[in-house]
């Protein structure tokens, strides 16, 4: 394969969501393949606690 980005499935949050809150429904990303881009400073990510899932036992027309 060439020019492919693979996101892992392990972890508390999908990487696509960590990147920009994305759900991969047509969102666009910018990818740089060159070697002139360097990161000079490492910053720890902010803390994130996901929303609690609301469970609905059943949905009826009543």
Distance, in Å, from the CA atom of 6 to the CA atom of 12, rounded to the nearest integer, reads: 17
Confidence class for position 11, pLDDT limits 50, 70, 90? confident
How many CA atoms lie less than 13 Å away from 56 in the CB half-sphere?
A: 3
Q: Is the pTM of this model over 0.75?
A: no
| The two three-digit tokens of residue 13, written as one number | 């949050």
pLDDT at site 4: 78
Residue entry with tokens 């740089």: 32
> For residue 43, is pLDDT > 80?
yes
C-alpha 14/C-alpha 21 separation (Å) is 9
**The pair of three-digit structure tokens given for residue 62, joined into one six-digit string:** 């009543």
d(CA 9, CA 5): 13
Question: Residue range 31-35: average pLDDT?
Answer: 82
For the chain, strand residue ranges (E) read: none
């Amino acid at each position: 394969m060439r020019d492919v980005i693979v996101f892992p499935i392990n972890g508390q949050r999908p990487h696509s969501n960590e990147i920009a809150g994305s759900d991969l429904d047509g969102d666009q990303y910018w990818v740089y393949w060159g070697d002139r881009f360097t990161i000079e400073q490492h910053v720890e990510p902010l803390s994130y606690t996901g929303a609690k899932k609301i469970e609905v036992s059943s949905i009826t027309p009543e």
